[in-house]
Amino acid sequence: MKRGRLKRITSFLLSTALIGSTIVTGTAVNAEESANLITNQSVTGSATYVGTYLKSDYYSAGYTGLEISFTYTDLGTLASDNTTGFNDTFEFLVFDSAWGGWNCTKVGPAGYDQTENLTASDVSEDTEYTVTVPIDTIEDKLSTSNPVQGINLQTGGIGNTAVTINSLKYVTGTVESQPTVLTGAWHKTGVDGDTEEQYGTMNLTSGFANVYANPWNISVSNFSVSTFTTPVVAVTVEYADVTGDPIYPQSEILDSTTYQPIVANYPQVSEGGTVTYVTQIPTTMTSMLLAYDTCTVKKVEIYDEAESYTTAKTNLSTTNITAAVSPCWNLGNALESTSNGETGETLWGNPTINKRLFKQVAAVGFKSVRIPVTWLSAVTVNGSTGTVNTQECDAILDRVKEVVDMAIDYDLFVIIDVHHDGGENVTGKWLDITASNQTGIQNAFEALWTRIAQRFRSYDQHLIFESMNEVMESNNYSTNVSDEIWTNINDLNQIFVEAVRGAGGSNTNRFLMVPGYNTNIDSTVSAGFRLPDDTVSNRLMVSVHFYDPYNFTLNTGDGSTTSITEAESAYIGTQFAKLKTTFVDEGIPVILDEFGAVDKDNLDAIAAYTTEVVSQAQAKGIGYGYWDNGYTGDYGMGLWNRYTYGQTALGERLLPILAGNTAE
């Protein structure tokens, strides 16, 4: 504040003091007021304690500020070491749960945290000054990393000056809810009289809540989720080894007032390990009871599932896209699931997709997610006519958009495709490269991709489109493919590129992926495959899959093997070298967006195989993506249990290799 400006303010204060006016200064909070915390309390001298105000009282109640009104009754001599004069009349000091971290917000006639040295000539007796201080301003000055516990109020460096606090009250504006984390190790004993040493503790790590544990449950109160869009509670527990039959323990959150579960949950638990249960709660909830049996609760997170950590992606090119999207994780057996010509994300045994899954995927180090999508009855091909059923297509797109947004919120790149519409033995298949009515098929393909691209025209380079998946002649897994088949595949890829570019918006700069016959490496590096023409340079990528040797990776019947030979291991490098020579060395990015091996109780062999694929892909400059079908146990490829979000035994073994980029 300029000195001249201060003098004009002072003149105003002195003149209004004659009629006993009230001066309101500081940053106002659009607020309702609480009852007075203090009324007509006189204090004298520097550093005089006034009161303590706990976060448990003001946070969940939604108070956002402290309003203090005061009057000087005797303008004495300021403290000799004071540097801010009467603008240090009061100090709000924040402290943490360990009674540490003290730093102050200074309050005086001109507001809070003013640096001007107000003297006795700048203020007057009998004038009421009112200052409103935002609570988050006070809390932001905590000098430790521990959670805020409360605020102390004391006088500042006012020497022997006497001042009366006419009132101190909370005011209410819009308090932003805080993500809250509890950590510890608690387990239910269910025995009255047991001590904390027996059942354990949970402690506040960040955010705010009051926590009380007893032998029966964990009580969490005085939190606020009122400004969250989709508040959820994620409880991470650890089960000991489960022997014999599965158990069905209580694993749920109870309303503290009704003792009724938010969602009734008695899951089947068949093995030990760490799992996370996610429950959506109402925005009005401020307290709850955690009821979890036969396990140890290790972590509780209260947060907004609408949280987003995304950053804009607009300047990627073929020189850096591979590193940006690799490693990739496939959300397999979800949005591409089919049954009798219909599609549905739970048809193949996986649960409805939850954002928590992408939080886990991003946390371990994956950079992208491939979300396969099947459209089937949303498309109609009738002779030379091919159309999109807009109502069905838009219903699928609505859900695809929700899932895409979940992933992008965690800054993951996303690949979506047309998946089982051309799949082997799929009821309702319409993307048939052997059919005689290619005109109708191509018209439908163009219409579908136009509608997809139009829906996502505003999305930046986070979103990548892949034209199709493993289209092939029935039962022809060889590389002996006719020119006609190659023409049909190449034409579809060209139509895909033109349809997307023609949809406008960010589609003109979007990365597009195109596969060859059956997404097979040998077919794709052959002379039959042609990269489409494009209106923009350096935005095309090639996608391939790799499930060799088949007897090891996928075969569970006759001829199945549980390990690979040295020759089979060497074959991985040979195949990837072909991709490097044909595409990578020519500046064309390649993404191996599917590979993996089913669990045959041979984790050591799968880990060795995965290590070889990852190391060879990295050495050849090829991006790679693991196919996760969500299945756990025998013949599964799931890295997480999608019901509990806990890592499977396969996941615990492979994730350090896949996402951590570290070989065993």
DSSP state of 141: T
484 Cβ contact partners less than 8 Å away, ≥ 6 residues apart: none
Q: Is 183 helix (H, G, I), strand (E, B) or coil?
A: strand
Residue 278 dihedral angles phi and psi, to the nearest 5°: -115, 130
Residue where the block lists tokens 């371990």: 364
What span, in angstroms and rounded, lies between the C-alpha atoms of 105 and 148? 15
On whether the CB atoms of residues 211 and 202 are closer than 8 A, the answer is yes
Those residues with Cβ within 8 angstroms of residue 288's Cβ, 6 or more apart along the chain or in another chain: 219, 220, 221, 233, 253, 254, 255, 256, 262, 281
Smallest CA-to-CA distance from 490 within 430, 546, 433 is with 433
Report the chain's terminal Cα–Cα distance, integer Å. 63
Tell me how far apart the alpha carbons of residues 162 and 364 are, in angstroms, rounded to a whole number. 59
Active-site residue, 470 included: yes
Structure tokens at 10: 């002072």
Q: Is the peptide bond before 549 cis (omega within 30 degrees of 0)?
A: yes
- 25's CB contacts (< 8 A; 6+ apart) are 109, 110, 111, 129, 130, 131
Q: Is the bond into 147 cis (omega within 30 degrees of 0)? A: no
- What 3-state DSSP class applies to 293? coil
Say which of 301, 336, 594, 612 is annotated catalytic.
Answer: 594
Closest CA to 401 of 348, 357, 335, 466: 335
Ramachandran class of 637: left when φ > 0, alpha when ψ lies in -120 to 50, beta otherwise: alpha
Bridge partners of 261? 254
Query: Which residue blocks in 462-537 are alpha helix, DSSP H?
Result: 483-502, 521-524
Tell me the longest C-alpha to C-alpha distance in the chain. 102
Quick one: which of 70, 245, 98 has its CA closest to 169? 70
Identify whether 305 is a catalytic site residue.
no
The secondary element (H helix, E strand) that includes residue 338 is: strand 338-339
Q: Which two tokens stand for residue 197?
A: 């040493």
Number of other residues whose CB lies within 10 A of the CB of residue 443: 18
Instruction: Please state the length of the chain.
Output: 664
Buried b (16+ CB within 10 A) or exposed e, 169-195: bbbbbebebbbbbbbbebbbeeeeeee
The catalytically annotated residue of 392, 470, 498, 652 is 470
Q: Which residues are catalytic?
A: 470, 594
